[in-house]
Amino acid sequence: MNSDRERTPIPVVSCVGRSNSGKTTVLEHLIAELRRRRHRIAVVKHYHRSDVEFDVPGKDSWRFAQTGAEQVILAAQDRVIHIRRCEQAPTLAEVVGEIRDVDLILVEGYKGAAVPKIEVNRRARDPELVCVGDEMLIAVVSDQCFDLDVPQFDLADAAGLADLVEAHYLGERQRR
């Protein structure tokens, strides 16, 4: 990374929509397309419950966390897993502040955050959008059309969505 990019905040784009609307699938395809274009991507998944576990009960790292360690970092040959205990749910800004060395941060959820949003909608789930009137809405991905002044994409159009994200948030200078 050059020094200019280190000082430039990493762009953040959130994928929002109702439960089971296809947000994860849209993000999977968008990530694959952006990776194909050689961009480095981080993903933040907003989870509304507090019972999430990423560790294996009985393993050393799990035991350290159960004993009360505030942070446990598991360092392997091909990845680092960092688990940090929180007294309250972190804001998106706090989570994003911990991310380094990527070109773009994609978020699933955090509908109320003041970041650009792509709404995923399926007619069978809900005929209405959840982000109507949200100035941060930059695109809709759906199996239906809406009377809006933002680009709209079919659920299967990962390349078109990647073109939009690349043009607005990545640009040619960040392509590897």
Please state, as a whole number, how many other Cβ atoms lie within 10 Å of the Cβ of residue 156.
Answer: 13
Rounded to an integer, what distance in angstroms lies between the CA atom of residue 157 and that of residue 168? 17
**47 touches 36 (CB < 8 A):** no
Give the CATH H-level superfamily of domain 3-48+87-174. P-loop containing nucleotide triphosphate hydrolases (3.40.50.300)
User: What pTM did the predictor assign?
Assistant: 0.85
pLDDT on residue 171: 77
With cut-offs at 50, 70 and 90, classify the pLDDT of residue 172: low
Rounded to an integer, what distance in angstroms lies between the CA atom of residue 18 and that of residue 27? 14
Q: In this predicted model, what pLDDT tens digit does every residue of 35-69 receive, in sequence order?
A: 999 999 999 988 766 666 666 788 887 788 888 88
**If we measure between CA atoms, which residue out of 10, 15, 11, 12 comes closest to residue 137?**
15
pLDDT of 3 above 50: no
**152 touches 145 (CB < 8 A):** yes
Domain ranges of the chain: 3-48+87-174
